[in-house]
Amino acid sequence: MTAGDSIEKPLWASRISPWHWLTIAAAILIAQASILYAMGRLPICACGYVKFWHGVVNSSENSQHIADWYTLSHILHGFLFYGLTWLLLRRASWPSRLIVAMLIEGGWELVENSPWIIERYRAGTISLDYYGDTIVNSVSDNLSMVIGFLLARKLPVALTIALAILFEVLVGLHIRDNLTLNIIMLIHPTEAIRHWQAGPPII
């Protein structure tokens, strides 16, 4: 995928310094956090502390800390957004494509934390203790997407695809959920999948 970075860039893109791109990226994260706060999202876990990792999915602290099993899905978002922007925005520089990806990811984080989607997750999946992300978790999800995007930019296509498959299989077998199942259960909940997800970890 790195071949897309060698395509001639528009003149305006070459005039934007790395510090300007960083400022734009920071502004997106600040706007995301601010809107979430206005929506009533908690800045940190109601438990009163912040952990780097929380690995218990079926708990009230899932999606409340910096990283969890779903962090791998957000890294996978970065893989997908790199590929899509490389295909659809061939003349754009990679920093501008990353900004587009951050806007999409940030927008989804806002939608995901809307009351309708939260109730959809609770009704259609096994996430009965899910009441939305904290702001620290949501912003961390966007940063995880950035990591995935940057990895996809540097890694060979075959390795990126292999990592994506590994993430999906590993997470699917350990927590019985992953990006693919998450999308299926959000769009068209299936009782068979929900029943399977209620089982213990396979690995």
pLDDT over 50 (residue 197): yes
Q: What letter would DSSP give residue 8?
A: P
Counting residues of the chain whose pLDDT is more than 90, the rounded percentage is 72
Tell me which DSSP letter residue 47 carries. T
- Using CA atoms, how far apart are residues 29 and 43, in angstroms rounded to an integer? 13
Do 110 and 36 contact (CB within 8 A), yes or no? yes
pLDDT, average across residues 115-134: 74
Supply the pLDDT for residue 7: 52
DSSP SS3 for 61 = coil
Read off the pLDDT band of 3 (50, 70, 90). very low
Say if residue 55's pLDDT is above 50.
Answer: yes
The mean pLDDT of 20-25, rounded to a whole number, is 96
pLDDT reading at 11 higher than 60: no
Q: Name the residue type at position 57.
A: V
Q: What is the pLDDT of residues 56-106, one digit of tens each?
A: 988 889 899 999 999 999 999 999 999 999 999 999 999 999 999 999 999
